[in-house]
Each structure stands twice: as C-alpha cells, then as structure tokens.
Amino acid sequence: RDAVWKAKREALEVIFAAGRSRARQRDFERFRAEQGEGLERFALWCALSEKYGELQDWPETLRDASSAFVANEARTLTERIDFYAWMQWIVDEQLGRAQSEARASGMGLGIMGDLAVGVHPRGADAWSDPESFAAGIEAGAPPDMYNQLGQNWSQPPWSPTRLAESAYAPLRDMMRTVLRHAGALRMDHIIGLFRLWWIPRGMGADQGAYVRYDHEAMVGVVLLEAYRAGAVIIGEDLGTVEPWVRDYLASRGVLGTSVLWFEKQQDGWPLQPDAYRYLSLSTVNTHDLPPTAGYLADEHVTLRERLGLLTEPVEQVRAEARVERERMLTRLREHGLLRNDPSEREIVEALYRYIVRTPSALIGIALVDGVGERRTQNQPGTDQEYPNWKIPLADGSGEVVLVEDLPGNVRLSSLLAAVRDELRH
C-alpha cells in the first residue's frame, strides 16, 4: 500500500503544480469554505506529519493544535496545507461522481459507506480535538467465542462528558461528512453508541469495563443526519449486544447485521431462513472471518491456533467447528439446496441461496466468495502478527484477481447467477 501511495502522490503533486482554471479554483475555494476548520486542521496535520514524521516525534511545542507554535508553522507550510486540502477536494469530487454514476446505472442506494468504530490515537482527530476523547483509554471488546482473549483496537473512545458539553458537534460533523455521497452507511460496532468496552492503557483486553453513553442523543444525531442525506443506516450489531439494543434500533428504522454462521437457534442449530430479521443486512460471512471457502476448511481455527489466540484446546475448537459445519450442510439439504458429495463451489452457492430465502431487506455478496479466495482479510485480536487488510484478492489457487478480470470470472458469474435464480423464485 505504501508503494502505491508513493506513486499516486508523486502524480498528484504534478497535477497540483499544473494549476487550475479560474472556475476550478473558485470551486476549490468554495469547498474549503464549506468544510471549514475541520478540513484546515486535517490538512495542517498532514503537512506537519510530512515534515516531522509520526506524532510522537513532533516537537513538544506542536502537540497542542491551538498553540501559537502551531499557528506559526501553519504560516510556513501554506503551500503544503493547500496541497492536502486540494486532495480532499479531489476525493470528494470523485466520490460525488461515483455516487451519481451508481444511481444513474439503476442502483437503489448507490455507494454504501463504512464508518469505523474509532480513530488512530496519533491521527488528525485526536491531535486537533483531544478533549473529545478519553485520555489514557483504549476501546475494544470483551472475550467471545471467536476472540477468546478479547480485542484491543488501540483507539481512543469518545468522551461522553465532552460530547454532551459540545451538543455532540464532533458526531454531527462526522456523520454529515461521511454521508455527503452515500446512499447507505454501515456503522461498525454500533453498540458503541450505547456502551463501549474501555481498556486502561497498558492492561489486557480482558481487563476492561463497559462505559455507557447517552444513546438517545447519539442515535438521534445519527438518524437526523441520515434523514437529511436520504441515506439508510446499517448497524453492525454482532458480538456482545444486549437484545433490547437491537429492538431499539429496529424501532427507529436502523438495519442490523446478520451473518449466517452466527445466526443460531437456542439448540445451536442454524436459524431457519424465515426466522431472520427483516430490518437487516444478511451475509454468509464477514471480513473478520475467513472467506467461506476458508471457513469451510477450518481456516478460522488453524489461523487462531498459529497466532496463539485460542484459550481452549485446539482439538475442542476443531470439533465444535466440525459440528457447526455439518449442521449447516444438513440444513442446506433440508431445503433441497445441496446434492450428495457437493463441490466447494456448490456449497458456497447453496449458502448464498439460503440467505436469499430470508426476509432480510438487504443481502450482501462477498467478492472473496465470488472468486474462491480462502485467506482471511482481517484477524481480530492482532496488530503486526497478521497482514490485516494487505492481502490482494486472489482465487482458490492463489492467483491474483484484478478488477478488470471480474466480468469474465467464471466462478463469480456462477455465484451471481445462483443468487439471481433464487431471487426469481
């Protein structure tokens, strides 16, 4: 990624230096005026990072974004600040065009944005508005079946006190920005609007505690901005979530998230399709699990064992995974979706046919499943131990699949045909 960014930035430097017409310059200036202090501070942080490196290496006098020293640096870095603000304008224009093209092509929602649960502890947000975040605290999640040691995301959580004092201005500004060119927004770990697992810095992820937020105010802000943008909100409500939270969100029109492997009856068997929620985005898998081909081969067990993330004997975890898989295959046969001795591709397509039979308002098809990828894209509970988000898309044999290859990809075409066929029935 760093090599790609270096090449792109060199090209962008050339384009920026070439200048703009008067009309384009006026559009740029209008964008900067509209975006205001948030954009200017971000561009300043980019320029300072370019000059001094990581935030921990900056001179102490520049740690306070409101200091006179920072204001003096801003005057000397005017051209670089202009460059980074210009790049944000270009990105915003491209997003706007992409959304217009998507809607014009017949897509009902167009682009679906994805909002992370938090920000980098040494990023622009924490530097420019430190009072909005809890000092000395990192957000995460308590231990669960898939992450038996808990999770520490190394992200500073919102300060509930500061949010209330500022009338939730940081949340309002963020929501308005991410919804500018989106027809829908998936909010990661939406339970964070209700309560968040706070971990004192230096302690283990299992040593945290829940801190509650004013969910009425926070959900209200989210929905007001979504209404203004005409966008759908999808909450990632997986993991440790109190049941009443799902009911609360559904009563306000917020979609939940249903992952086939997590949706089970009280006896542990897979949930029947007609028992799924209507207000939900239903999928076979999630980016925090291996692609379906890998999951069927117990990659989620093998990888966690190799990385030392299991707290239970691996034989026990493998046995549980085998039972889960066999029960799912039995369900597929109950519904007439699977023949005897099926291939991997046929199982994957049967699983997608299964979720298409649910009443869920939205169905998600994972690109990794469409091409036969097996490798995990992101392994929760890891930082440098695993190359999270750095694995290029590949097929089942490990051959890289480019975007240009997708229209002619036989396996992807077969999966899409299976989904369309099920939708017609």
Rounded distance, CA 110 to CA 97, Å? 11
Are the C-beta atoms of 310 and 317 separated by less than 8 Å?
yes
Q: 253-300, pLDDT tens digit by residue? A: 999 999 999 999 999 999 999 999 999 999 999 999 999 999 999 999
For residue 341, the one-letter residue type is: D
Domain boundaries, the chain: 1-107, 108-424
Question: Nearest-CA neighbor of 175 among 115, 124, 251, 111?
Answer: 115
HSE at residue 388, side-chain half, CA atoms within 13 A, is 12
- What is the C-alpha to C-alpha distance for residues 168 and 158, in angstroms, rounded to an integer? 10
In 10 A of CB 340, how many CB atoms?
5
Other Cβ atoms less than 10 A from the Cβ of 423: the count is: 11
- The encoded tokens of residue 389 equal 């988000």
Handedness of CA 267, 269, 270, 271 (dihedral sign): negative
Share of the chain above pLDDT 70, in %: 100
Question: Quick one: which of 65, 49, 171 has its CA closest to 117?
Answer: 171
Give the CA angle between residues 402, 98, 87 to the nearest 5°. Answer: 90
Provide the strand spans (E) within 230-335. Answer: 232-235, 256-259, 280-283
pLDDT of residue 298: 94
Is a pLDDT exceeding 90 seen at residue 95? yes
Residue range 182-189: mean pLDDT, rounded: 96
Q: What is the pLDDT of residues 30-87, one digit of tens each?
A: 999 999 999 999 999 999 999 999 999 999 999 999 999 999 999 999 999 999 999 9
Please provide residue 184's backbone torsions phi and psi, each rounded to the nearest 5 degrees: -155, 160
Higher-confidence residue of 145 and 316: namely 316
Fold of 108-424: TIM Barrel (3.20.20)
The residue count for the chain: 425
pLDDT score of 381? 81
Classify 236 in phi/psi space as left (phi over 0), alpha (psi -120 to 50) or beta.
beta
**Phi, psi of 138, rounded to the nearest 5 degrees:** -125, 140
Task: Please answer whether residues 354 and 331 qualify as being in contact, where contact means their C-beta atoms are separated by less than 8 angstroms.
Answer: yes
Average pLDDT along the chain: 95
Q: What is the pLDDT of residue 146?
A: 67
Measured CA to CA, the distance from residue 180 to residue 39 in angstroms comes to 14
114-156 pLDDT per residue, tens: 999 899 999 999 999 999 999 999 999 888 876 778 889 999 9
> How high is the pLDDT of residue 234?
98
